[in-house]
């Protein structure tokens, strides 16, 4: 490959504008051993890249997958449901008791007003009876 073409490709490579084929051509040139003296500083870099591509790990990589713990989640949901039923039932009973108290109170108020009305009618007729009895017997 021509030296001027290699220099242009190297400049493009350093600007991160090369394609994969152009990078392969640069890698082949710098690993061939026939490198121009003013470009030998890049020879070790491309040699390292070639060597690191060939490296493999003997230890298998174990990826930990995050699985939701359904058992704990279902237990938490059950506890939340039981608590809401317990406290909700208490609140519902309290509301029913307030409603019943209001009904009994209104019924007693109605009864009281009717009894007071009857008492007033009875007391007025008793006073009339008393007056009549006093007139008949002429007692003062």
Going by pLDDT thresholds of 50, 70 and 90, the confidence category of residue 130 is confident
pTM > 0.75: no
Query: Cα separation of 52 and 58, whole Å?
Result: 14
Does residue 129 register a pLDDT over 70?
A: yes
pLDDT at 64: 79
- CB proximity list for 13: less than 8 A, separation 6 or greater: 22, 23, 26
pLDDT at 140: 54
- pLDDT of 91 reads 85
pLDDT tens-digit map of 41-96: 888 888 888 888 777 778 887 887 777 778 888 899 999 998 888 888 888 888 99
- Residue 27 near residue 49 (C-beta atoms within 8 A): yes
Q: What is the pLDDT of residues 11-47, one digit of tens each?
A: 888 888 888 888 888 888 888 878 888 888 888 888 8
Domain ranges of the chain: 3-54, 80-140
Q: Crossing angle of helices 20-31/41-54, nearest 10°?
A: 110
The larger pLDDT score, comparing residue 110 to residue 67, is at 110
Q: What is the pLDDT of residue 97?
A: 93
């Amino acid at each position: 490959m021509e030296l001027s073409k290699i220099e242009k490709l190297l400049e493009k490579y350093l600007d991160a504008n090369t394609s994969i084929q152009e990078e392969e051509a640069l890698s082949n040139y710098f690993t061939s051993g026939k490198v121009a003296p003013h470009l030998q500083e890049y020879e070790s870099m491309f040699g390292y890249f070639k060597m690191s591509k060939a490296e493999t790990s003997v230890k298998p990589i174990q990826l930990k997958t995050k699985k939701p713990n359904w058992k704990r989640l279902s237990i938490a949901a059950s506890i939340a449901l039981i608590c809401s039923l317990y406290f909700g039932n208490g609140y519902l009973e309290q509301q029913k008791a307030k409603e019943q108290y209001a009904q009994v109170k209104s019924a007693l108020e109605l009864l009281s007003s009717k009894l007071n009305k009857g008492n007033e009618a009875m007391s007025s007729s008793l006073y009339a009876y008393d007056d009549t009895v006093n007139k008949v017997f002429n007692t003062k």
